[in-house]
Amino acid sequence: MRLAPYVRPVRVRLGASALVAVAASCMALLIPLALKRLVDGPVRDQDPGGVWLGGLTVLVLGLLEAGLFGVRRWLVARPLAGVEAAMRKDLYERLQRLPVEFHDRWASGQLLSRATMDLQILRMFLAFPLVFLVVNGATIVIGFAILLTQSWLLGLVLLGPVLPLTIVCWYFETSYALAARRAQDQAGDLATLVEESVLGIRIIKAFGRHRSQATAFRDRSRQLWGTEMHKARLLSNIWAVIMTLPEIAIGVALLLGVREVADGRLSAGTLVAFLSTALALRWPVESIGFLLAMSNEAGTAADRYFEVMDTPLPPDTRTGTEEPAAGRRSAGTGPADGPAAEEPAAGRHPRRDLSGDPGSGGEGGIRLEGVRFRYPDAPPGSPDLLTGVDLHIRPGETMALVGATGSGKTTLTALLPRLLPATGGRITLDGEDIAAMPTARLRHLVAVAFEEATLFSASVRENVAMGAGPEGADDEEIRRALAIAQCDFVDRLPGGLDTQVGEQGLSLSGGQRQRLALARAVVGRPRFLVLDDPLSALDVHTEALVEAALREVLRGTTALVVAHRPSTVMLADRVALLSGGRVTAVGTHADLLRENAEYRRLMSGTHQQAAEETTEQDPEQAAGQATEQGAGEAGAARAGGEPRSADGELPALEGSEAR
CA distance 137 to 120: 25
* Beta-bridge partners for 587: 575
The phi, psi pair for 645, rounded to 5°, reads -80, 175
**Helix pair angle (619-634, 540-555), 10° resolution:** 100
Residue 301 shares a structural domain with residue 395: no
Predicted pLDDT at 207: 72
Q: Which residues contact 625 (CB under 8 A, 6 or more apart)?
A: 611, 614
**Helix pair angle (48-97, 282-309), 10° resolution:** 10
Taking residues 537-561, report their average pLDDT.
Answer: 76
Predicted pLDDT at 355: 33
Residue 431 shares a structural domain with residue 543: yes
Please give the residue that has the higher pLDDT: either 510 or 383.
Answer: 383
For residue 447, the surrounding DSSP H or E stretch is: strand 446-449
Length of the chain equals 659
Question: If pLDDT is split at 50, 70 and 90, which confidence band does 624 have?
Answer: very low
Residue 11 shares a structural domain with residue 121: yes
Quick check: is 628 in a domain? no
Residue 296 shares a structural domain with residue 367: no
Residue 191's SS3 state is: helix
Q: How many domains does the chain have?
A: 2
Q: How many CB atoms lie within 10 A of CB 179?
A: 22
Predicted pLDDT at 627: 43
Burial of 357 (0-12, 13-18, 19+ CB in 10 A): exposed
Radius of gyration of the chain (CA): 37
Residue 542 shares a structural domain with residue 404: yes
Residue 288 shares a structural domain with residue 369: no
Q: Which residues contact 64 (CB under 8 A, 6 or more apart)?
A: 24, 27
Predicted pLDDT at 314: 73
Quick check: is 526 in a domain? yes
Q: Are strands 582-587 and 386-393 parallel, antiparallel or unpaired?
A: unpaired
Quick check: is 615 in a domain? no
What percent of the chain lies above the pLDDT cut of 90? 8
Taking residues 446-459, report their average pLDDT.
Answer: 80
pTM of the model: 0.64
* Residue 92 near residue 115, CB atoms below 8 Å: yes
| Domain at 436, CATH number | 3.40.50.300
Residue 288 shares a structural domain with residue 367: no
Burial of 487 (0-12, 13-18, 19+ CB in 10 A): buried
Q: Which residues contact 589 (CB under 8 A, 6 or more apart)?
A: 400, 566, 569, 570, 572, 575, 603, 627, 630
Domain end marker among 568, 590, 612:
590
On the question of pLDDT at 324 being above 50, the answer is: no
* Residue 501 near residue 520, CB atoms below 8 Å: no
Q: CA triplet 126, 129, 134: central angle to 5 degrees?
A: 100
Q: For 225-250, how does the pLDDT look when each residue is reduced to its tens digit (9 = 90+)?
A: 999 999 888 888 888 888 888 888 88
Predicted pLDDT at 222: 92
Q: Are strands 432-433 and 424-429 parallel, antiparallel or unpaired?
A: antiparallel
Residue 111 shares a structural domain with residue 257: yes
Quick check: is 353 in a domain? no
Domain end marker among 590, 617, 643:
590
On the question of pLDDT at 656 being above 60, the answer is: no
| Domain at 193, CATH number | 1.20.1560.10
On the question of pLDDT at 498 being above 80, the answer is: yes
Residue 450 shares a structural domain with residue 517: yes
Beta strands in 340-397 (DSSP E): 366-373, 386-393
Beta strands in 213-343 (DSSP E): none
Q: Is the dihedral of CA 331, 333, 336, 341 positive or negative?
A: negative
Mean pLDDT of the chain: 77
CA distance 323 to 469: 11
Quick check: is 198 in a domain? yes
CA distance 605 to 595: 18
Q: For 101-135, how does the pLDDT look when each residue is reduced to its tens digit (9 = 90+)?
A: 788 788 888 888 888 888 988 988 888 888 888 88
Q: Is the dihedral of CA 540, 542, 543, 548 positive or negative?
A: positive
DSSP assigned state of 209 = -
Residue 445 shares a structural domain with residue 305: no
Domain end marker among 560, 590, 620:
590
Residue 585's SS3 state is: strand
Range of the domain at 105: 4-309
